[in-house]
């Protein structure tokens, strides 16, 4: 449990004890206190958007009494005039502009408007003025309203969702309507909304992902050209749909026409399988080992490019290295599932590697539901009772998996579960490897590892597991 800025652990000796009334009561009490504190902070934050004034009776002019610094918006939104200059939008344009200006807007991004530059900066390029399209207008309003409401659906969200669904039902009967920028974009944004609200296992997510794939196939048989921004969005949603709900891939890596990726011969020494995997290479396919070589090279390149205070954003090309790596990981995972053979080591390594690729360009993917999904899948694998004995033979790999899941899981509940695994269920297997931070770091460095993108998060997770240690971060 998180107490203020510190994590407060619930100590248990057996996983079943987490369900005891006393433990649950303690967790619920903490959650209530945290909620009250967060609500108070939100009230204070909102008050900073206003200036309190008092009337000056002498000249009847407003005199500022307590001015505050204006909050810096995280996104640059269009002015009211540019948003709706001719009053032609199918809804409240000013409300949409305000939603786009909220700090929470950065967590609403989907593949349609994540660009290499910044959030929403490519909005006009991608959507090409299609905000006058009713389906896109309501879809964009939908996901922004959801983010503003703390990822919880409300009346405003349901109203926009209903409008989007009604419009899409009509348009799916007309091929010309389906391939419009507004229609395709609205479909992509709707999938993002449903993945957040209904979960990746929702049947509606699968149905709409398949609808997008059907639109792609429809477009292949026509002379209608889809703009590069939407092509890119379709590629990423096709990829995400495959890993989230298991839909078949419709688009290959080559679909991204501007993407070209080849190994750099000047960095040949960096294309190596991290030595930590040497004990399990016999359990991993040759294609996955090739992916590990590329990931290792990207990590090495990232550390070489970044200065100590840099953010990883824009340090790797998410449409080249990351796309090329993740395409192959999804293909390997899909092929493995078709074989109906369960190997926890292989499956866990794929999900952990996929999760690591998202942390190599962390800022651009803030708010994405994919890392949370990968962490949940990794947790599911490590919690399977029938596989406990398998990990006793691979303690270093197990430590890497536990720390990747615990450090990179965005949900604190998921982090708590990884903590429980490390401190209780697998304590005898990994305790000697992580009681000292420097030893933990050395072990982590033998697997997929970037000092710049990963070390701080991993150290924070280590500190949570060792609250009584006061070692200097190095």
pLDDT, position 458: 95
Contact at 8 Å (CB) between 224 and 199?
Answer: no
Give how far Cα 77 sits from Cα of 94, 102, 117, 120, Å.
11, 10, 14, 8
State how far the Cα of 215 lies from the Cα of 187, in Å rounded to an integer: 10
Asked if the model's pLDDT at residue 448 lies above 60, the reply is: yes
Predicted model pTM: 0.72
State how far the Cα of 22 lies from the Cα of 392, in Å rounded to an integer: 32
Residue 152 CA, chain-centre distance (Å), reads 17
Contact at 8 Å (CB) between 221 and 179?
Answer: no
Domain boundaries, the chain: 80-254, 265-465
Contact at 8 Å (CB) between 315 and 306?
Answer: yes
Provide the 8-state DSSP code for 201: T
pLDDT, position 425: 93
SS3 64: strand
User: Which is more confident, 89 or 153?
Assistant: 153
Please report which helix (H) or strand (E) contains residue 431, including its range.
helix 427-434
Contact at 8 Å (CB) between 285 and 308?
Answer: no
Asked if the model's pLDDT at residue 109 lies above 80, the reply is: no
Asked if the model's pLDDT at residue 387 lies above 80, the reply is: yes
Closest alpha carbon to 317 in 225, 209, 410, 232: 232
For residues 221-248, b (16+ Cβ closer than 10 Å) or e, as one string?
Answer: eeeeebeebbbbbbbbbbbbbbbbbebe
pLDDT, position 129: 57
* β-bridge partners, 55: 62
Q: At residue 118, what are phi and psi to the nearest 5 degrees? A: -170, 175
Range with lowest mean pLDDT among 39-48, 112-121, 292-301, 360-369: 112-121
The share of the chain scoring above pLDDT 70, in percent, equals: 66
pLDDT in tens, 114-156: 544 444 444 554 455 556 788 888 988 898 898 888 888 899 9
SS3 318: helix
pLDDT, position 412: 86
Q: At residue 367, what are phi and psi to the nearest 5 degrees? A: 85, -10
pLDDT in tens, 34-80: 665 666 666 555 444 444 444 444 444 443 443 443 333 334 445 44
Closest alpha carbon to 353 in 437, 418, 287: 287
Please report which helix (H) or strand (E) contains residue 91, including its range.
none
User: Which is more confident, 188 or 339?
Assistant: 188
Closest alpha carbon to 311 in 240, 266, 366: 366
């Amino acid at each position: 449990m998180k107490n203020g800025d510190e994590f407060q652990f619930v100590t248990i000796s057996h996983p079943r004890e987490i369900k005891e009334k006393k433990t649950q009561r303690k967790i619920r009490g903490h959650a209530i206190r945290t909620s009250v504190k967060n609500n108070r902070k939100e009230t204070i934050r909102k008050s900073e958007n206003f200036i309190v004034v008092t009337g000056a009776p002498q000249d009847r002019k407003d005199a500022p009494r307590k001015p505050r610094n204006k909050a810096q918006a995280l996104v640059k939104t269009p002015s009211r005039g540019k948003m709706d200059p001719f009053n032609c939008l199918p809804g409240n344009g000013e409300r949409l502009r305000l939603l786009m200006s909220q700090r929470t807007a950065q967590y609403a991004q989907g593949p349609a408007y994540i660009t290499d530059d910044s959030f929403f900066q490519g909005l006009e390029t991608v959507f090409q003025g299609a905000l006058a399209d009713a389906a896109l207008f309501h879809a964009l309003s939908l996901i922004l309203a959801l983010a503003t409401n703390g990822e919880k659906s409300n009346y405003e969200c349901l109203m926009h969702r209903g409008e989007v669904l009604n419009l899409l039902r009509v348009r799916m009967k007309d091929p010309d309507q389906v391939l419009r920028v507004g229609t395709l974009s609205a479909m992509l944004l709707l999938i993002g909304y449903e993945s957040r609200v209904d979960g990746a296992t929702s049947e509606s997510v699968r149905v709409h992902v398949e609808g997008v794939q059907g639109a792609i196939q429809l477009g292949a048989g026509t002379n209608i050209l889809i703009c590069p921004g939407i092509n890119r969005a379709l590629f990423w949603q096709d990829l995400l749909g495959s890993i989230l709900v298991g839909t078949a891939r419709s688009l290959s890596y080559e679909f991204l026409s501007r993407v070209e990726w080849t190994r750099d011969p000047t960095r040949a020494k960096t294309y190596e399988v991290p030595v930590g995997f040497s004990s399990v290479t016999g359990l991993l396919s040759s294609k996955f080992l090739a992916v590990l070589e590329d990931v290792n090279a990207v990590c090495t390149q990232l550390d070489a490019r970044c200065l100590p205070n840099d953010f990883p954003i824009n340090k790797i090309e998410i449409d080249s290295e990351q796309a090329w790596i993740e395409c192959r990981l999804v293909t390997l995972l899909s092929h493995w599932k078709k074989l109906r053979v369960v190997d926890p080591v292989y499956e866990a390594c794929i999900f952990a590697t996929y999760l690591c690729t998202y942390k190599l360009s962390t800022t651009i993917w803030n708010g994405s539901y994919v890392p949370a999904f990968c962490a949940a899948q990794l947790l599911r694998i490590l919690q399977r009772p029938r596989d406990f004995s398998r990990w006793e033979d691979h303690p270093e790999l197990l430590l890497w998996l536990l720390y990747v899941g615990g450090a990179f899981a965005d949900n604190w509940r998921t982090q708590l579960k990884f903590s429980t695994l490390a401190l209780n269920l697998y304590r005898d297997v990994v305790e000697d490897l992580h009681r000292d931070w420097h030893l933990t770091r050395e072990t982590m460095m033998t697997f997929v590892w970037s000092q710049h993108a990963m070390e701080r998060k991993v150290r924070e997770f280590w500190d949570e597991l060792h609250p009584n240690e006061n070692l200097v971060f190095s």
